[in-house]
Structures are given as structure tokens and as C-alpha cells.
């Protein structure tokens, strides 16, 4: 986790150079004219004035070509001098350009060293860029998209030769439009939008030669533009705002999680003696009926009770077993949770004996009281863990943890929406929100230094018991205790039998009824109404526009 935190912090320090910083290049004026040809082609002329305080190697222009057939007749000029196409170019070259095409865009790099200011003209044709719809001709055009360079002045014109008046038009950003004879002109100073788009319809005869025929209508021009859950411009602002508290929350939660308290119990370098029930609640957390069963077997091992079994036949002629727990010697040296459980179990009988059938009847007659009584036992087990210094009485930093968790969920949802809305910063917010959530969970469940050590030791023991590791070096008493741990941990009966064989336990002496009868399922049913050994008890922790793209210096 520390390595991941440091890596993300490093990314946040590096990436903002490209994301947060203003570009050194400014577009003083961007003039674009789009002429709709009879065959549906779009003939485009763009004149752009760039300025920069740095020494630049050229100009880039990314042109979106999706929803058209191709880009053709590309001409680039500066001061009336044309650029020549080339396959390869390097910084320092002059009046050459490269084009990298994909299905959606053409990435142009025009090489010309410059400083101060420079004028460039781009001329090109987007084949079949206009649409011959069901009731009209339609042009859905994006002058610029993903704008990453400041634009001080913009003028964009759509022209349909010989047209008197457009039938309908729509702008994505609600920009002002001046309508002339066959023209629509958008003009704006200091563009603060991420894209500039327009859709317009006109009589079909003005592109009668077009082969770009689609089943679309002039009534729904807004459908030609991408519908984002959050407006792209708003998404950009939200991302910039959200990244700061996200980063702060991540740092704060990490600091709290890493904080050391010298007054807490420290590691001891060996196993701290935990009862089977304490070990199970400590590392697994789920309130398994097997925890109670393991404790009862421990009572038998310590000669505080004995277990008998009687067979009987149900009304449906099914053979069943009823397990009877009988008090023997008076218990001594019991912890508070053990004493509570011992008294609780026999309270469902006559005070000296109790059976699984009686437990089952008590559960059925008053399930809420029954559950509450046994939940109290688990709470007492946790109290013992607290006294031994492996857990906190209450989660430390609970308020900050819950606050951070709620924020992380909000940031996660917002980052998804922002990603869909094409916000670059959302790429950072998403993993940060996940890290905050994980750290919040870790902070709520944080253990003491001693608890961290013992958690690792007992989870290792749990793994060794599941793998049936070699425990030959253990004494016979220790081997029996290991089996009680395995039962409390909820290992399956097959694994328990394999472990018993590995430990060379005499099943005629140590809890013989458990090995010879289906006691686990019967006991589970008595407590929770299910024979499943995995059941836990209680609670646990339509098309698009043509054109678009960006431009700037490099």
C-alpha cells in the first residue's frame, strides 16, 4: 500500500505539469469557413494566428474525420508559402508536415520554427461530410473539440451556396449565431468551451448529388452531438475542484493509518495465547456456530462437561441424533465470555443438562431473544480481545474514516461520470477514490501494533491448518488445541478429518462424538436453523457531428 501511495503521489506531482499549467501557446484568432458542396463534401479553410513567448518547433492540428469518408486535398500555408508533405520530420525542419491518420482523426504536425507569432492556413476537404436526410440536407459540424489552447477570438462560418435561408439550426453551447443569405456565422471572444459545434438543415436539393444518405430528420439536430452525463465544460471545472480534496483525503487517511501510538501494546515476537473462539473472531470476524461448538469441546477437554448422544426416530421415520450436554466438575479459570456461554447454554435446560433439541426449541420459540443472547457472547469475546490489547474498544478515527469513505464513494461515482464526459483528470480521481475507500476500511478495522503481529501469526496458523501442515513437534495437548482452533475457524469436515489423521489424534478419546456422528450439522441447525457449516450467525464486519479536433504549438 505504501508503494502504491508513493507512486500515485509521484504521478500527481508530475502529471499536473501537462494538465494544470496553461499552454505557452495562445490562438489570437481562429477563422474557419465551411462550404457545403453539391455532392455533400465539406470544403474547409482555416486561418489561424498563433502567438507564444517560447521558441516553438511548429504547429499541430488534430482534425476529427469520423462521420465523413476521408480527408483530402490538404494544403498548409504560412505567409503564402506552402508546406510539403513528408513521412518523417524532426524538430528544426521547416515547411514540411506529417499526417497520422486513424479511423476517427487526422493528426497533423506542421514543422516550422517560430517565436512570437505565426499565421497558418489549413485547407482541406471532408468527403461526404454533409448528410442527405429524410426531409432535408444536414450539416453537423464541430469546428474545434477538446480545446486545449486559449482562443482569444473565433469566427466560424457555414455556407451553402445559393441558399436563401436555413430551415433549422442548433448549437451545442448555445452560442450566438448570425444568419445571412445561405450562411451561419458563430463568433466569440475568449472561448471558454471545450468544443464549438453547430448543426443546420436546409432543403435537400442543395446536396442532391450526395451519397451520404441517412435516415435522420432535421427535427432532432441536437442528437448529432454526443450527450454526456455532465457538460464537458462543467466536467472540466468539477474535475479540477474534485482532485484537490481527493488528494488531501488520501494523504490524511494515509497519515492516520500510519500513525504509531507508543502507549499501545507492542509486538512480543511470539504467539499471544488466544482461545479458539478469540482467535476465530479475531481473524475471521464472522460469528460462526463452530466457534461456540469449539468452545463447548474445550469445556469437555477441561472436564467441565460431557457430551452424550441419543438416537430417535421422527414422525416421518427419519433417524435423528439429540446431543446432550451434562455438567460435570465446576468450571474454574474461565474468562468472562466463557463463563457467560457456559451459563447461557445450560439456561436452556434444567441447569444441569441441556440438549440440541432444547436449543432448537428455544430458537424457534423466541428467535430474536435467542440471537441477542448469543450475540452478547460474541461481544464478550471481543471484550477479551480488547483486554489482551489486540483490538481497539472502538474503531480509532471513526468519524474521519466514515467521512472519507462517503467522500470516496461520491468521488468514485463522479469520476465515472467525468470519464464518460471525457475529463482527463478523472483518470486520476478514479484510482484515488478507490485508494481512499480501501484506506478508510483499513483505518476502521485497524488493530493495535500487538494486534497486527498476532493477526499475521494466527492467519498463518489458519493457513497451515487448512493445508494440513506437519505438526509432529507439538505435544498431544497442543494437537488437541489445534483441532479446536480448526473447528472454531470453520474448516470443513473433510479438512478436519485429514488434520486429525495428520495429528494422530485418538478419536475414541478426544471428542469421539464429533467424529462418529454428524454433530456439526445438528448443532448448526439448533443455533441458526440451517445445517450449512458455512452459514454465519449474527452480523459481520444516432450518429454524430463531422469535424472537430484541437490545435496548438509544439
529-554 residue pLDDT tens:
776 654 444 433 345 556 666 666 66
Final residue of a structural domain among 193, 208, 225: 225
Residue whose C-alpha cell reads 451459563 in the numeric block: 343
Compute, in degrees rounded to 10, the torsion defined by CA atoms 287, 289, 295, 299.
Answer: 150
Let me know whether 200 and 120 are in one domain. Answer: yes
Q: What is the pLDDT of residue 540?
A: 38
pLDDT at 63 over 70: yes
Q: Has residue 250 been placed in a domain?
A: no
Range list of β-strands (E), 65-145: 71-78, 81-82, 84-85, 96-101, 105-126, 131-132, 137-144
Between 291 and 195, the more confident residue is 291
Taking residues 446-473, what's their average pLDDT? 84
| Range of 123-127, 212-216, 395-399, 474-478 with top mean pLDDT | 123-127
In angstroms, the CA 313 to CA 347 distance is: 26
Q: What is the pLDDT of residue 18?
A: 37
Q: Is residue 295 part of a domain?
A: yes
Taking CA atoms, 45 is separated from 75, 158, 210, 356, 484, in Å, by 9, 11, 21, 89, 83
Which of 225, 243, 267 is a domain's end point?
225
Q: Which DSSP helix (H) or strand (E) runs through 321?
A: strand 319-327
Q: What CATH number does the domain containing 158 carry?
A: 2.60.40.1730
Whether residue 184 lies inside any domain: the answer is yes
Question: Which phi-psi region, left, alpha or beta, contains residue 547 (left: φ > 0; alpha: ψ -120 to 50)?
Answer: left
Do residues 198 and 101 both lie within one domain? yes
| pLDDT score recorded for residue 522 | 81
State the pTM of this model.
0.56
Q: Which domain range does residue 130 map to?
A: 24-225
Rounded to 5°, the CA angle 130-132-137 comes to 75
Residues contacting residue 111 through CB under 8 Å, at least 6 positions apart: 57, 58, 83, 89, 90, 91, 92, 93, 94, 95, 96, 97, 98
Q: Is residue 147 part of a domain?
A: yes
Is the CB of residue 514 less than 8 Å from the CB of residue 541? no
Whole-number Å distance between alpha carbons of 106 and 56: 21
- Assess whether 368 and 510 both reside in one domain: yes
pLDDT band at 327 (very low <50, low <70, confident <90, very high): very high
Q: 415-449: per-residue pLDDT in tens?
A: 887 777 667 777 888 899 899 999 888 888 888 88
The number of distinct structural domains making up the chain is: 2
Pair 52, 148 in one domain:
yes
C-alpha cell at 406: 462517503
Residue 204 inside a domain? The answer is yes
Mean pLDDT of 152-164: 91
Q: Is the pLDDT of residue 219 over 50?
A: yes
Q: Are residues 380 and 479 in the same domain?
A: yes
With respect to residue 217, please indicate whether it lies within any of the assigned structural domains: yes
Helix, strand and coil in the chain, % to nearest 5? 40, 25, 35
Enclosing H/E stretch for 10: helix 2-14
293 and 190 within one domain: no
Contact 531, 525 (CB under 8 A): yes
Contact 282, 274 (CB under 8 A): yes
State percent of the chain over pLDDT 90. Answer: 31
371 and 507 inside one domain: yes
Q: What does the alpha-carbon distance between residue 285 and residue 445 come to, in Å, rounded to a whole number?
A: 11
Q: Are 307 and 293 in contact (CB under 8 A)?
A: no
Nearby residues of 157 by Cβ (< 8 Å), 6 or more positions away:
32, 33, 34, 183, 184, 185, 186
Model pLDDT for residues 98-121, shown as the tens digit of each residue: 998 887 788 899 999 998 889 999
**Helix intervals (H) in 306-351:** 336-347
Q: b or e along 219-253 (b: 16 or more beta carbons within 10 Å of the residue's beta carbon)?
A: eebebbbbeeebebeebbebbeebbeebbebbebb
Same structural domain, 34 and 150: yes
**Rounded to an integer, what distance in angstroms lies between the CA atom of residue 45 and that of residue 354?**
94
Classify residue 409: in a domain, yes or no.
no
pLDDT digit string, tens, across residues 335-368: 999 999 999 999 999 999 999 999 999 999 998 9
68 domain-assigned:
yes
Range list of β-strands (E), 445-519? none
Mean pLDDT of the chain: 82
Residues 177 and 297 in one domain: no
Mark whether 189 and 287 lie in a shared domain.
no
Per residue in 231-283, pLDDT (tens digit) is 555 666 677 778 888 888 888 888 887 777 666 778 888 899 999 999 999 99
Cα–Cα dist 425/176, whole Å? 30
Same domain, yes or no: 156 and 296: no
Do residues 516 and 380 share a domain?
yes
Burial of 385 (0-12, 13-18, 19+ CB in 10 A): buried
- Cα distances from 551 to residues 113, 119, 228, 423, 505, in angstroms, run 16, 13, 23, 18, 78
**Angstrom distance (rounded) from CA 201 to CA 197:** 14
Amino acid at each position: 500500500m505504501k508503494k502504491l501511495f508513493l507512486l500515485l503521489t509521484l504521478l500527481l506531482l508530475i502529471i499536473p505539469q501537462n494538465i494544470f499549467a496553461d499552454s505557452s501557446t495562445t490562438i489570437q484568432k481562429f477563422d474557419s469557413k465551411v462550404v457545403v458542396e453539391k455532392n455533400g463534401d465539406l470544403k474547409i479553410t482555416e486561418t489561424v494566428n498563433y502567438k507564444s513567448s517560447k521558441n516553438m518547433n511548429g504547429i499541430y492540428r488534430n482534425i476529427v474525420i469520423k462521420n465523413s469518408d476521408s480527408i483530402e486535398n490538404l494544403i498548409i500555408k504560412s505567409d503564402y508559402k506552402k508546406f510539403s508533405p513528408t513521412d518523417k520530420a524532426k524538430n528544426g525542419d521547416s515547411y514540411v508536415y506529417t499526417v497520422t491518420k486513424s479511423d476517427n482523426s487526422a493528426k497533423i504536425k506542421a514543422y516550422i520554427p517560430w517565436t512570437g507569432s505565426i499565421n497558418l492556413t489549413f485547407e482541406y476537404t471532408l468527403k461526404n461530410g454533409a448528410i442527405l436526410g429524410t426531409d432535408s440536407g444536414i450539416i453537423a459540424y464541430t469546428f474545434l473539440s477538446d480545446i486545449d489552447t486559449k482562443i482569444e477570438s473565433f469566427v466560424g462560418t457555414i455556407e451553402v451556396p445559393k441558399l436563401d435561408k436555413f430551415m433549422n439550426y442548433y448549437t451545442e453551447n448555445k452560442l450566438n449565431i448570425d444568419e445571412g443569405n445561405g450562411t451561419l456565422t458563430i463568433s466569440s471572444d475568449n472561448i471558454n468551451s471545450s468544443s464549438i459545434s453547430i448543426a443546420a438543415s436546409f432543403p435537400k436539393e442543395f446536396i442532391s448529388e450526395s451519397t451520404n444518405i441517412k435516415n435522420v430528420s432535421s427535427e432532432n439536430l441536437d442528437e448529432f452531438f454526443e450527450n454526456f452525463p455532465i457538460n464537458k465544460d462543467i466536467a472540466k471545472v468539477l474535475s479540477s475542484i474534485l482532485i484537490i480534496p481527493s488528494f488531501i483525503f488520501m494523504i490524511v487517511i494515509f497519515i492516520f493509518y500510519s500513525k504509531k501510538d507508543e502507549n499501545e501494546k507492542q509486538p512480543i515476537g511470539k504467539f499471544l495465547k488466544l482461545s479458539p473462539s478469540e482467535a476465530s473472531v479475531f481473524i475471521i470476524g464472522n460469528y460462526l456456530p463452530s466457534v461456540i461448538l469449539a468452545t463447548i469441546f474445550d469445556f469437555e477437554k477441561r472436564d467441565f462437561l460431557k457430551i452424550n448422544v441419543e438416537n430417535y426416530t421422527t414422525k416421518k421415520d427419519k433417524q435423528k441424533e439429540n446431543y446432550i450436554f451434562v455438567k460435570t466438575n465446576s468450571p474454574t479459570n474461565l474468562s468472562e465470555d466463557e463463563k457467560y456461554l457456559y451459563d447461557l447454554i445450560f439456561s436452556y435446560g434444567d441447569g444441569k443438562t441441556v440438549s440440541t433439541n432444547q436449543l432448537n426449541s428455544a430458537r424457534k420459540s423466541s428467535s430474536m431473544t435467542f440471537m441477542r443472547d448469543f450475540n452478547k457472547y460474541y461481544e464478550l469475546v471481543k471484550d477479551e480481545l480488547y483486554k489482551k490489547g489486540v483490538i481497539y474498544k472502538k474503531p480509532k478515527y471513526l468519524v474521519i474514516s466514515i467521512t472519507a469513505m462517503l467522500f470516496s464513494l461520491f468521488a468514485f461515482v463522479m469520476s465515472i461520470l467525468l470519464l464518460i464526459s471525457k475529463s482527463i483528470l478523472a483518470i486520476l480521481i478514479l484510482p484515488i477514490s478507490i485508494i481512499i475507500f480501501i484506506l478508510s476500511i483499513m483505518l476502521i478495522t485497524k488493530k493495535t501494533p500487538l494486534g497486527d503481529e498476532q493477526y499475521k501469526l494466527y492467519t498463518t496458523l489458519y493457513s497451515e491448518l487448512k493445508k494440513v501442515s506437519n505438526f509432529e513437534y507439538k505435544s498431544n495437548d497442543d494437537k488437541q488445541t489445534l483441532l479446536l482452533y480448526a473447528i472454531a475457524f470453520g474448516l470443513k469436515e473433510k479438512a478436519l478429518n485429514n488434520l486429525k489423521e495428520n495429528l494422530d489424534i485418538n478419536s475414541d478419546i478426544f471428542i469421539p462424538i464429533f467424529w462418529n456422528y454428524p454433530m456439526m450439522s445438528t448443532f448448526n441447525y439448533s443455533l441458526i436453523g440451517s445445517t450449512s457449516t458455512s452459514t454465519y450467525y449474527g452480523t459481520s464486519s444516432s450518429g454524430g457531428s463531422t469535424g472537430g479536433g484541437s490545435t496548438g504549438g509544439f
